[in-house]
Structure 1
Amino acid sequence: MGRTHPGAPARTAADGRPVWLPLVSAHQDKQSGKLRDGDLDAQHAFGDLDGHRPALLDVHEAFEDGTAYRAELSVRVDQPVLTDDSVLHGPT
């Protein structure tokens, strides 16, 4: 079973840029479909939509003791959150 751990605000080591860093984990043998590629696919397809979508800066995957981990580093936005749910149930 996959699990998304709460993201956290962070800063890049190189230039101190504000970023957001969530972590996802899943059993290594069941990671297919668990470590979703939605953010990566959206970045490739749409970019940052002229600043309307946080740009995905980097993705890192690691495997340890039968667990797969993925960290996704994206630009931290300073605008109010529209929803605290990853699934939109109606207009925002």
Structure 2
Amino acid sequence: MNHTCMRAGLILTGLVVTPLAQAAVDSYRFAHVTIATPWYIFIFLLMGIFAPFVLMAVLAWRNAMRKTSNDVTEEGQKPSHQ
């Protein structure tokens, strides 16, 4: 009984590992890699890195414009005496 279980375990392990080994050999079968692929990766990462900086600049500019418009409206009001 023990011998049969060990044999079944080895066969099952072999069946599980064999497709993984074949998948490792054929891992680039469906990925069509050309000379332009590194450029696509570079552009994608460049956008991902610079997008927060662009967003930060837009938000800082918008906040500066909002503060400027608040200063103008406060100058036009009469000072309140407390």
> TM-score of the superposition, structure 1-length normalised?
0.20
Higher normalized strand content (fraction of residues): 1
Higher relative contact order (CA 8 A, sep 6+): 1
Higher Cα Rg, which structure: 2
> TM-score of the superposition, structure 2-length normalised?
0.22
